[in-house]
Every structure is written in structure tokens, then in C-alpha cells.
Amino acid sequence: MTGEMVRAYLRIYGLVQGVFFRATMRNVARRLGVTGWVRNMPDGSVEAVVEGPREAVEKVIQWAHRGPPAARVERVEVIWEPYRGEFQDFTIRYDLEPYTPKPIKQSGEG
């Protein structure tokens, strides 16, 4: 897939831990050729950053709304960030280093 390169931050809520969400998301992301990471959060949610061609990133986001068969996704927050191209692969992270999304400014915003 080619086209505009984008970056999205995702926070997925619901029954999304202990259901192979991270491993399945990694497989989906790698199959689609996107990079980034996914990790469990202490509040029971899953957090991810996905970079790649817009079409592929949007497919990962669509998948995240369903998740693997045992998941029960309640909601997905998506924040579009400026593309950085900082990843070589899509990985599962185990750290809890705080991550603050930096949204793309809309035209007219200061």
C-alpha cells in the first residue's frame, strides 16, 4: 500500500486484556505493513500507536473496533498525530512510560 503516510494514537476500552488483543493487533499490523506498538494499560484498556499508509492505518483502526473473537470492545479513541516514521516494526510494549498524543493542529488553531 502506498499513499499519504499517517500516524494514529489509539486507546481501546472494554474487555480487551487477556483476550490476545495485543498479539492479534501485532499480527494484523504486520500483515498490513504498518509500524508502531501496542501495550496494556493499568486501567484495563489497550494503548497503541500506528504509523504507515493512511489506508492501512485505517484498516487497523477498523479492526480495533472489533478486536479478536474473545474481546468486547466498548469504544476506541483515535487521535491523529503528525507522521514521524520512527518505527521499524510493530511491537508489543511492556513498559508504562507515559505517552501523550500530540494531535495534528487543525487549520485556524493557534
| Neighbour count for residue 40 (Cβ, 10 Å) | 18
On whether the 5-92 domain is CATH 3.40.50.10420, my answer is no
Q: Choosing from 7, 22, 26, 39, which is the catalytic residue?
A: 22
Q: Where are the domains of the chain?
A: 5-92
Model pTM? 0.91
CB 37 within 8 A of CB 97: no
Q: Choosing from 7, 26, 39, 40, which is the catalytic residue?
A: 40
Mean of per-residue pLDDT scores for the chain: 95
Instruction: Please say if 40 is a catalytic residue.
Output: yes
- Choice between 95 and 1, residue whose per-residue pLDDT is larger: 95
pLDDT of residue 105: 75
CB 59 within 8 A of CB 32: yes
Q: Would you say residue 1 has pLDDT above 90? A: no
Instruction: Please say if 27 is a catalytic residue.
Output: no
Cα–Cα distances in Å, from 16 out to 58, 63, 73, 84, 99?
19, 13, 7, 27, 19
pLDDT of residue 23: 98
